[in-house]
């Protein structure tokens, strides 16, 4: 009984904020909604990886494929379309993608039994968390305010199509074989 009572009040208290969140979500543009959905998917895979309850190899492949496709649509479609809004932030984003890609390559080459495996998962996760925070808190809201409704809708559509293609092809097909340059470098050419 005691537990029920203590659980009830936060639920009641959270009602207005969840309504507020739903209202806020309904105003998000197609690109923001798509990219944030993909961020949540990646966070879910990291959680599973860190729990150690599932086989690491398929989770790593899923993580790498999803991140490669996500980064590709940002690098090739979204960032070029929004660079004028904040060129410095977009250039920093390309660099963070490069580091995430290199970290992923190291992770894919590491056995889950290696003592460095968990540390490498954490390092890539933390890098991505920082990057996602900047996108969701800073870049995406500004893009949604500054780009027109039609431009955003068209952007969302081509990003969705491109994501499906890159996801299907997989991480190895999406990134250069060398560590000298990354898919972010190739996208900027």
Span interacting with Fe ion, options 5-13, 60-68, 114-122, 131-139, rule CB under 5 A: 131-139
Q: How many CA atoms lie within 13 A of 36 on its CB side?
A: 17
CB nearer to Fe ion: give 62 or 135. Answer: 135
Residue among 39 and 110 whose Cβ is closer to Fe ion: 39
Region from 48-56, 105-113, 129-137, 177-185 binding Fe ion, contact rule CB under 5 A: 129-137
- DSSP class per residue in 68-122: HHHHHHIIIIIHHHHGGG-HHHHHHHHHHHHHHHHHHHHHHTS-TTSTTHHHHHH
Which C-beta is closer to Fe ion: that of 34 or that of 49?
34
Among 62, 65, 74, 76, which residue interacts with Fe ion (rule: CB under 5 A)? 74
In a 13 Å sphere around the CA of 157, the CA atoms on its Cβ side amount to 6
Q: Which span (105-113, 127-135, 142-150, 172-180) binds Fe ion, by CB under 5 A?
A: 127-135
Tokens 């081509």 sit on residue: 158
Residues that bind Fe ion (CB under 5 A): 74, 135
């Amino acid at each position: 009984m005691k537990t029920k009572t203590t659980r009830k009040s936060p639920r009641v208290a959270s009602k207005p904020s969840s309504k507020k969140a739903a209202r806020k979500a309904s105003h998000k543009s197609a690109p923001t909604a798509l990219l944030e959905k993909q961020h949540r998917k990646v966070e879910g895979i990291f959680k599973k990886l860190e729990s150690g309850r599932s086989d690491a190899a398929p989770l790593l492949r899923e993580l790498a494929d999803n991140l490669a496709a996500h980064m590709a649509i940002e690098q090739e479609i979204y960032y070029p379309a929004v660079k004028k809004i904040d060129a410095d932030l977009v250039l920093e984003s390309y660099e963070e993608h490069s580091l995430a890609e290199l970290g992923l390559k190291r992770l894919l080459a590491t056995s889950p039994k290696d003592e460095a495996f968990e540390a490498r998962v954490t390092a890539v996760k933390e890098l991505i968390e920082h990057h996602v925070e900047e996108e969701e808190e800073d870049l995406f809201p500004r893009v949604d305010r500054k780009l027109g409704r039609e431009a955003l809708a068209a952007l969302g559509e081509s990003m969705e199509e491109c994501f499906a293609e890159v996801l299907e092809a997989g991480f190895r097909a999406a990134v250069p074989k060398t560590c000298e340059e990354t898919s972010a470098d190739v996208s900027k050419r």
